[in-house]
Amino acid sequence: MAKKSLIHWERKRQKLKQKYHLIRRSSKKEISKVPPLSEKWKIHGKLQSSPRNSAPTRLHQRCFSTGRPRANYRDFGLSGHILREMVHACFLSGTTRSSW
Amino acid sequence: MGQKINPLGFRLGTTQSHHSLWFAQPKKYSEGLQEDKKIRDCIKNYVQKNMRLSSGVEGIARIEIQKRLYLIQVIIYMGFPKLLIEDKPRKLEELQMNVQKELNCMNRKLNIAITRIGNPYGHPNILAEFIAGQLKNRVSFRKAMKKAIELTEQADTKGIQIQIVGRIDGKEIARVEWIREGRVPLQTIGAKIEYCSYRVRTIYGVLGIKIWIFIDEE
């Protein structure tokens, strides 16, 4: 089980990303539209002024049940080990062992 | 010791049905899974809390969750649903309120139903809880296993295998003990086998109990 502080930092980043999502998107569109470079610097300044943790690239997928930062599958939001346990416990509808 | 696959997972396409039945688009699948996990944890904690007050053996065999567009149907299969059914239907409503608070979804109704299983000791989860209780009270493990097997013989089972691993009887050196009655054909996919793996926390550490019950063969 990952440290609780790490899991909470991830949640904080997700909240900030939600909060600043529209602002960032509109700023990025403006940059691509406006031709002169000086204008681009100004808009870039706006982008930089939003907090770092609002950037979506800073998010890291974690397993929602254990918080493991590695071996995560986006389809399930789980790490491989927990995924295997849940499949065997018949909790994931439609999943079976594959063999062909 | 060979590596044995979990017999439930082994038979998932054929003899074993899933405990969660719902469909979700790939992007929403993990949210559905998280909801399921919250429901199951909420129910188990609630039952455990109330069990301490009344000291009965309330075994939850399994929790089935079916989801539709506007309804979440939860069916709890229990062995001895005394608390939740007989005394007052208030307990069931309390459980429903708790789960709804956890989920906080406004657009879907939640419906919890409780089904009693015919032979409660024919199901490995309930049997495992029984053995766990015995081991915690420091009954000799052989006695506990044999008593469990007697209970299953009253229910209709064709075979049972029980394995206990860990510091048995509190000894320093951990070992594995298992007994089998009847036949338990693990390699036959057509055989319906119920399986449970349960952890007991004793003062000496954790004991692992695994129970395989052979129910029927097609």
Do A74 and A43 reside in the same domain of the chain? no
Q: How far is A24 from chain B, CA to nearest CA, in Å?
A: 23
**Pairing mode of beta strands B71-78, B60-67:** antiparallel
Mean pLDDT of all residues in chain B?
86
Ramachandran class of B138: left when φ > 0, alpha when ψ lies in -120 to 50, beta otherwise:
left
Mean pLDDT in residue range A4-32: 87
> Exposed, middle or buried by CB within 10 Å (0-12, 13-18, 19+), for B162?
buried
User: Would an 8 Å CB–CB cutoff place A77 in contact with chain B?
Assistant: yes
Chain A contacts in chain B segment 37-96 (CB below 8 A): 37
* pLDDT tens profile B106-131: 778 888 888 888 888 888 998 898 89
Do A35 and A68 reside in the same domain of the chain? no
* pLDDT tens profile B16-49: 889 999 999 999 899 889 989 988 998 888 888 7
Do A45 and A65 reside in the same domain of the chain? no
User: For residue A30, how many other CB atoms are within 10 A of its CB?
Assistant: 16
User: The domain containing residue A50 runs over which residues?
Assistant: 1-59
**DSSP annotation of B106:** S
| Percent of chain B whose predicted confidence (pLDDT) is above 70 | 92
Q: Are B45 and B36 in contact (CB under 8 A)?
A: no
Do A6 and A38 reside in the same domain of the chain? yes
**What is the pLDDT at residue B193?**
92
- Going by C-alpha positions, the residue among B45, B10, B1 that lies closest to residue B186 is B10
Lay out the sheet containing B175-182: strands in order across. B175-182, B159-166, B205-217, B191-202
Do A49 and A22 reside in the same domain of the chain? yes
Do A13 and A24 reside in the same domain of the chain? yes
User: Would an 8 Å CB–CB cutoff place B19 in contact with chain A?
Assistant: yes
pTM for the full model? 0.84
Do A71 and A53 reside in the same domain of the chain? no
Q: Smallest Cβ distance to A91: which of B16, B19, B26?
A: B19
Mean pLDDT in residue range A66-76: 92
Q: Smallest Cβ distance to A93: which of B5, B8, B20?
A: B20
The interface pTM score, or ipTM, of the predicted complex is 0.84
CB pairs under 8 A between A and B: 59
Q: Do A75 and B30 touch (CB under 8 A)?
A: yes
User: Would an 8 Å CB–CB cutoff place A41 in contact with chain B?
Assistant: no
Q: Domain of A84: which CATH number? A: 4.10.830.10
Q: How far is A49 from chain B, CA to nearest CA, in Å?
A: 31
**What is the pLDDT at residue B98?**
82
Q: Are B170 and B177 in contact (CB under 8 A)?
A: no
**Pairing mode of beta strands B205-217, B159-166:** antiparallel
How many residues are there in chain A?
100
- Tell me which of A90, A97, A99 to substitute to probe the interface with B (most B C-beta atoms closer than 10 Å): A90
- Going by C-alpha positions, the residue among B85, B86, B45, B40 that lies closest to residue B63 is B40
Q: Smallest Cβ distance to B30: which of A64, A87, A97?
A: A64
Q: Smallest Cβ distance to A97: which of B9, B18, B37?
A: B9
Q: Do A96 and B12 touch (CB under 8 A)?
A: yes
The tally of CA atoms less than 13 A away on the side-chain side of residue A33 is 7
**What is the pLDDT at residue B70?**
87
Overall domain count for chain A: 2
Domains assigned to chain B? 16-116 (3.30.300.20), 120-217 (3.30.1140.32)
* Sequence-separated (6 or more) residues with CB below 8 Å from residue A72: A61, A62, A63, A78, A79, A80
Q: Among A9-23, B53-67, B132-146, which stretch is predicted with the lowest mean pLDDT?
A: B53-67
Distance of CA B211 to the CA centre of its chain: 11
- Based on its alpha-carbon atoms, the radius of gyration of chain B, rounded to whole angstroms, reads 19
Do A13 and A46 reside in the same domain of the chain? yes
pLDDT higher than 60, residue B56? no
Q: How far is B87 from chain A, CA to nearest CA, in Å?
A: 31
**What is the pLDDT at residue B107?**
77
Q: Do A77 and B34 touch (CB under 8 A)?
A: yes
